[in-house]
Amino acid sequence: MRGPHNIWRLVRTGATFERTGAMGAVLEALDAPAPIRLAARVLGWPFKWLGLKGDPNVPPVPRALTALGPAYIKFGQILSTRPDVVGPDMALELQVLQDKLPPFPVAEARRVVAEELGGPLEETFSAFSDPIAAASIAQVHRATLAGSGRDVAVKLLRPGIERAFKKDVDAFHLIATLVETLSPSSRRLRPRDVIDHFEGVVMQELDLRIEASAAGEFAANTADDACFVVPAVEWNMSTRRMMVLGWAEGLPLSDLAAIDAAGHNRAKLGATVLQMFLRHALRDGYFHADMHQGNLKVAPNGDVVALDFGIMGRIDEYTRRVYAEILMGFIRKDYRRVAEVHFEAGYVPADRDVGEFAQALRSVGEPIFGMEASKISMGRLLAYLFEVTERFGMETRTELILLQRTMVVVEGVGRSLDPDLNIWAVAQPEVETYIANAIGPKAIARDLFRTASVLSRFGPRLPQLAEAALIAQAHPVKPIPPSRWPERLAIGFGGLAVGLGAALIWALF
């Protein structure tokens, strides 16, 4: 679908941003370079009349994104978690996109449920509510199972969302190409790769069976975690367009007044959210990557309940060890070790100076540690760290961007519950526990055992492999004499010509 026809989508995007008054705000918030500003104005101002009007009662940028469609809304949701990129004012303005979108009619929802179940809704559910939450891709209803009387949450994709999303993402690919062309300095960030990653993530969100599987895996990983709950999946009723989970009673973490009235300890809740995120990211390498207040509840007994598993993050074991060492190095102010870890992992080119890099890292850590506990931010540390590593040649790693932006969200949730939350004091036990298990003597023994287990599978073949290696050493393959290269090249090109000729004849006849 990608091609010149997306120019219309691009023009309408610029026109909509211009018509809603969002263009200037976005360019200013992103500190866009002159070529990007010029291109945006060229695509916006002359065609302003072609732009979508949107809801005049909504602030300009959310108004434009909501009018343009689901993929734009999803990007807005991601930017709302990145105040380090768009600034705190714009991030706050974009938060309206998280859970306050208009739902589609309940009659349409009942029709979708009947289609997915292959029969009347009433045969499965004795009660089915109006929408209780609506987002860019799906909405949620509360229902009661016929017979058992148990309450469940029913999540349904918006009608026609797949086609609308694909059209939007096509335009994003064109926009990313233009950004790389007009602003060469942006190529290090690989905008097109970021769009590819974004497309992959949301395409999974468009199949609720994938989200149900994510919920099941996440529930299995966290089954023994105190004070943290993941609702159970109702597999027999979950399909591509519908997912059914056990109902989780509780208060949204955004409702501070209700939390206080219920007598919950907000400081403990803030610490639990942060510690659970770190535990899941480091211990399991699988974490909830959309942990804003709309996706978290506090149960009547004080447990934190996680919802909405459309965006999950994975980190391989080696990367987890590297970043645990980096975090621990900052906590201990051992900047030399932090620098060495970057070089050992290959994140920074080997021709750079370790001492200079350690000095640059000190310039990142010391100002942050000099702040009051209530102002220390791990998300800010990661943002500053990426700035320094960029200067030393480190390329953007998509999985770490997801980790960083989730860290920013989690910190925001924790600080909303407890403004005096000491991020380092809360994080240190989790990081130390992981390092003790992943890098200490037990981890070395475990790694050696795994290596031995892998080698043991090749046991029956080891004699043949050794013999083949000895024969290869005793009778090395002789290189083609230089004098015969022209002959071999001629034969190779002749064969290629014959193959292409045959393919052409086949295509024509």
For 452-489, the pLDDT digits (tens) are 777 666 667 767 777 777 777 776 655 555 545 444 44
Q: Which helix (H) or strand (E) holds 130?
A: strand 125-134
Helix axes 60-68, 22-29, angle to 10 degrees: 110
Q: Which of 105-114, 266-275, 349-358, 429-438 has the lowest mean pLDDT?
A: 429-438
Q: How distant, in Å, are the alpha carbons of 93, 411, 428, 505 from that of 270?
A: 23, 9, 15, 70
Residue closest to 267 by CA, chosen among 420, 428, 431, 430: 420
**Beta-ladder partners of 133:** 140
For 384-406, the pLDDT digits (tens) are 776 777 777 776 566 666 777 78
Distance from first CA to last CA of the chain, Å, rounded? 29
**Beta-ladder partners of 145:** 125
Of 290, 351, 353, 418, catalytic: 290
Does residue 233 sit in helix, strand or coil?
A: strand
- What's domain 106-159+207-312's superfamily in CATH? Transferase(Phosphotransferase) domain 1 (1.10.510.10)
Q: Are 175 and 193 in contact (CB under 8 A)?
A: no
Q: What number is the average pLDDT over the span 114-125? A: 93
Q: What angle do CA 247, 250, 256 make, to 5 degrees?
A: 150
Q: What number is the average pLDDT over the span 332-353? A: 86
CA 11/CA 51 separation, integer angstroms: 8
Q: Which of 171-180, 336-345, 429-438 has the lowest mean pLDDT?
A: 171-180
Structure tokens at 157: 């994709």
Q: Are 71 and 82 in contact (CB under 8 A)?
A: no
Q: For the chain, give the mean pLDDT.
A: 79
Q: What pLDDT score was predicted for residue 459?
A: 63
Find tokens 């200490």 and name the residue: 440
Q: Could you tell me the residue ranges of all domains in the chain? A: 6-98+171-176, 106-159+207-312, 315-444
Q: Is the pLDDT of residue 360 over 90?
A: no
CA 352/CA 339 separation, integer angstroms: 11
CA 34/CA 13 separation, integer angstroms: 19
Q: What angle do CA 39, 42, 48 make, to 5 degrees?
A: 130
Residue closest to 195 by CA, chosen among 165, 216, 175, 167: 175
The verdict on whether 290 is a catalytic residue reads yes
Q: Is the pLDDT of residue 188 over 70?
A: no
Residue closest to 307 by CA, chosen among 152, 96, 102: 152
Residue predicted with more confidence, 470 or 262 = 262
**Residues 6+ away with beta carbon under 8 Å from 300:** 249, 250, 262
CA 168/CA 330 separation, integer angstroms: 41
Confidence of residue 495 (pLDDT cuts 50, 70, 90): very low
For 40-64, the pLDDT digits (tens) are 766 666 777 777 888 888 888 888 8
Sheet containing 151-157: which strands, arranged edge to edge? 125-134, 138-145, 151-157, 242-246
Q: What pLDDT score was predicted for residue 302?
A: 93
Residue closest to 133 by CA, chosen among 156, 111, 116: 156
Q: What are phi and psi of 153, to 5 degrees?
A: -105, 130
* pTM of the entire predicted model: 0.73
Residue closest to 378 by CA, chosen among 420, 346, 422: 422
Structure tokens at 95: 């938060």
